[in-house]
């Protein structure tokens, strides 16, 4: 949910976690998520979100209660002026994250296609981390079947690129990006997933958002290089059997 009033934006996101999350866990989990999702480049220091030497958001001292945390927004590079609050609350197995009354530095059209998209992606991944991946929504797909599904998708993208003339490698990569992001966010599965009866879902079993799907896809090469499923762990996703 996104709404505007007098140049200030408010957003809300929520996720079912199935258990109570304390205010202290929310506060500590927020700092951990900032570090992990920025690959160690970002951190929470002195109640401010920093990227290297740059203060992105300057927050006031958090008000921590039993099941909630609230930070006043006081400025920073991304803020047009002081004002607004960042609040995360756990209640009845659901965690809500809300920003109210925030004035962005960027004009609204630029903010909507840049900072807002990053904020919504980070908030979703932060909430999914509070839930955790220890209770998958369905049986996890095995690596051999995931490889077969990926092979089918790669062959499809290469075949489509083969009908487009020259520069087939570039076209194949572009086709693969559009194909995977669209399929994961709209249907949860690609053609390979249909054949192998697999679905890509977030840790809570929901569909991926387009930005989450794009983030997952961008991390696939890192998973190949490291031999670890970084694209799933950082994007808070998993592949399950239908």
157, 179 Cβ separation under 8 angstroms: yes
What is the structure's pLDDT at 146? 93
Mean per-residue pLDDT of the chain: 93
Residue with tokens 């927050």: 59
**CA distances from residue 4 to 8, 9, 12, 108, 235 in whole angstroms, order as listed:** 6, 5, 12, 10, 28
Contacts of 30 by beta carbon, 8 Å cutoff, 6+ apart:
44, 69, 88, 126
Has this prediction a pTM greater than 0.85? Answer: yes
User: Which residue ranges form the domains of the chain, and what is each CATH number?
Assistant: 2-131 (3.30.530), 143-241 (no CATH)
pLDDT above 90: percentage of residues in the chain? 84
What is the structure's pLDDT at 160? 86
214, 221 Cβ separation under 8 angstroms: no
Distance CA 237, CA 226 (A): 18
pLDDT above 70: percentage of residues in the chain? 98
63, 70 Cβ separation under 8 angstroms: yes
* Whether pLDDT at 167 is above 70: no
């Amino acid at each position: 949910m996104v709404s505007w009033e007098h140049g200030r934006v408010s957003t809300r996101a929520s996720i079912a976690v199935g258990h109570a999350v304390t205010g202290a866990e929310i506060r500590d989990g927020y700092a951990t998520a900032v570090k992990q999702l920025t690959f160690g480049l970002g951190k929470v220091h002195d109640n401010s979100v920093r990227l290297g030497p740059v203060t992105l958001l300057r927050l006031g001292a958090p008000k921590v209660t039993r099941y909630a945390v609230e930070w006043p927004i006081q400025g920073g590079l991304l803020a047009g002026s002081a004002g607004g609050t960042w609040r995360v609350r756990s209640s009845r197995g659901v965690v809500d994250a809300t920003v109210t009354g925030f004035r962005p530095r960027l004009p609204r059209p630029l903010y909507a296609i840049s900072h807002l998209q990053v904020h919504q992606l980070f908030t979703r991944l932060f909430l999914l981390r509070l839930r955790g991946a220890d209770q998958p929504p369905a049986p996890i797909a095995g690596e051999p079947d995931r490889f077969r599904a990926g092979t089918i998708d790669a062959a499809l993208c290469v075949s489509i690129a083969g009908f487009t003339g020259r520069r087939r490698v570039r076209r194949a990569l572009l086709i693969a990006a559009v194909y995977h992001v669209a399929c994961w966010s709209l249907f949860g599965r690609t053609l390979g997933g249909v054949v192998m009866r697999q679905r890509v879902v977030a840790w809570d079993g929901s569909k991926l958002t387009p930005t989450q799907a794009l983030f997952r896809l961008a991390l696939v090469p890192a998973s190949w290089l490291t031999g670890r499923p970084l694209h799933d762990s950082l994007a808070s996703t998993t592949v399950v059997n239908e």
